[in-house]
Structures are given as C-alpha cells and as structure tokens.
Amino acid sequence: MVKEKGTPPARDGATEQRILEAAKTVFIRRGTGGARMQEIAEEADVNQALLHYYFRSKERLSEAVFRETAGRMFPAIIQILGADIPIVEKIDRLVDTYLTTMSRTPFLPGYIISELHHHPERIPQLLGNVAGGDLSDALRPAFEKLGKQLAAEARAGRMRRISAAQFVVNLLSLCIFPFAARPMLRAALGFDDDKFTKFIEQRRKELPRYIRSALRP
C-alpha cells in the first residue's frame, strides 16, 4: 500500500500542509503582492505546479494564509475581555498574552497591518475563527461587559472614566505597536534582536503598572 523509496514522497495531507506552512513564511515575509509562487514552491520543496494542484491560485492560497494567521488575533482578546474577572487582572492577562504571542511571531503585526492596508476587502476574513462568523457580534458582549466594569470602577472612585474602546485601543497600541514598528526601532534606537528582546521583556514587567497607573483617578 505505502510505497517505500529512497526519498519517500510525503503521504496523505502532509504535502498540502507543508505547502501551507511554506506559504505562510513567504507571504508574511514578502506580503501578498511581493510573494512569488516559485519562492513558495522552493520553500516547500515541491514543484510550482503542485501549488496550483492543491490551492488552485495564488489568490486562494493567500486567503488561506491570511485566515490561518490573522484569524487568530481576535479570539484571544475576546475571551479575556469578556471574562468574569477584575479589570486589573484583564490588563495583566492581555499584556502577557499579547507580548507572548507577538514574541513568537514578531512579523505578524506588520503582515496583518500591511495586508489590511492594501486589501481592505479582506477585513471580514479577520473573523474566520470567531464563533458565529461576525466579529462585531462576538465582540459586542465582551465590550458591554468591559464597559460596565469600567463604569462601575469609575463610580466607585477607583478609576478614571474611560470608554471601553479607548481602554482597549490603548492596551493594544502599547502591546502591538513595538512589533509593527520594529524596523523603525532598529534604525532609531539601534535595536538588534537581542536588545529588542530585552526591551520587550522590560515592557512585560512595566506595562501592567503603567496602564493601571494611567487609569488612577
């Protein structure tokens, strides 16, 4: 049944998966426009024709990549935002989750920002992995919960008044932007890989207190 040879060709879904992984690498590195099917084929160590056999066209392949990568950004935040825990703990968890995620795939923010900038029609794909399929539907309950929490804290005099939207955008800005702007930091501050890593670890310690402090009444 299974053929045995010197260099055995991959069985079952392995080739397709390898192509998809190679495509992720190349699309994130070059962007959808700059990526070449040939480079993806080489990265996957297969022939270019095979890409079309499995994914039909560059367009479809890039969609698959975008869905698998960008679609993983929002579910995490939604889960934490809507959780039944105090605000300060949400801050801690969000900072930690985002910095950890970004550190593992540091080029992801640049890729997503770049793709959405040039292909706004892909925005709906951001929700691929969200239950129900409509992002705003999935976010709304989480935002409402967060908004009530923030209002309650403000009424109790424990926190300055701030809208849920501003709160979230501030937090995401502080966590994600340094990764998106990494090339600029390299140029401006001379951050090589090592310095950048240390810079991020410093942020992991400082950011929760920075954000809590910013919201003190």
Provide the binding-site residues for its own copies, judged by CB under 8 A. 29-34, 74, 107, 110-114, 116-118, 120, 123-124, 126-127, 135-136, 139, 143, 160, 162-163, 165-166, 169-170, 172-174, 176-178, 180-181, 183-190, 199, 202-203, 206, 210-211, 213-216
Task: Give the integer Cα–Cα distance in Å for 181 and 178.
Answer: 5
Q: Are 112 and 70 in contact (CB under 8 A)?
A: yes
Q: Is 9 in the site for DNA (CB under 7 A)?
A: yes
Q: Is 165 in the site for DNA (CB under 7 A)?
A: no
Neighbours of 94 (CB within 10 A): 22
Instruction: List the one residue from 20, 22, 23, 46 that touches DNA (CB under 7 A).
Output: 46
Taking the complex as a whole, the smallest distance from the CB of residue 13 to its own copies amounts, in Å, to: 30
Closest-CA residue to 47 (of 100, 83, 9, 79): 9
Identify what 158 binds: DNA, its own copies, none; CB under 5 to 8 Å per kind: none
Q: Which stretch binds DNA (CB under 7 A): 31-39, 76-84, 92-100, 209-217?
A: 31-39
SS3 percent helix, strand, coil of the chain, rounded to 5, is 75, 0, 25
Sequence-ordered list of residues with C-beta below 8 angstroms from that of 7, at least 6 positions apart, any chain: none
Taking the complex as a whole, the smallest distance from the CB of residue 99 to its own copies amounts, in Å, to: 13
Q: Are 107 and 62 in contact (CB under 8 A)?
A: no
Instruction: List the one residue from 21, 31, 43, 50 that touches DNA (CB under 7 A).
Output: 50
Task: Give the integer Cα–Cα distance in Å for 198 and 119.
Answer: 34
Q: Is 17 in the site for DNA (CB under 7 A)?
A: no
Identify what 52 binds: DNA, its own copies, none; CB under 5 to 8 Å per kind: DNA
Q: Is 56 in the site for DNA (CB under 7 A)?
A: yes
Residues 87, 146, 93, 107, Cα dihedral to 10°:
-140
Q: Which residue is listed with tokens 């959780």? A: 83
Q: Under the rule (CB under 7 A), what is the footprint of DNA?
A: 9-10, 15, 35-38, 46-50, 52-53, 56-59
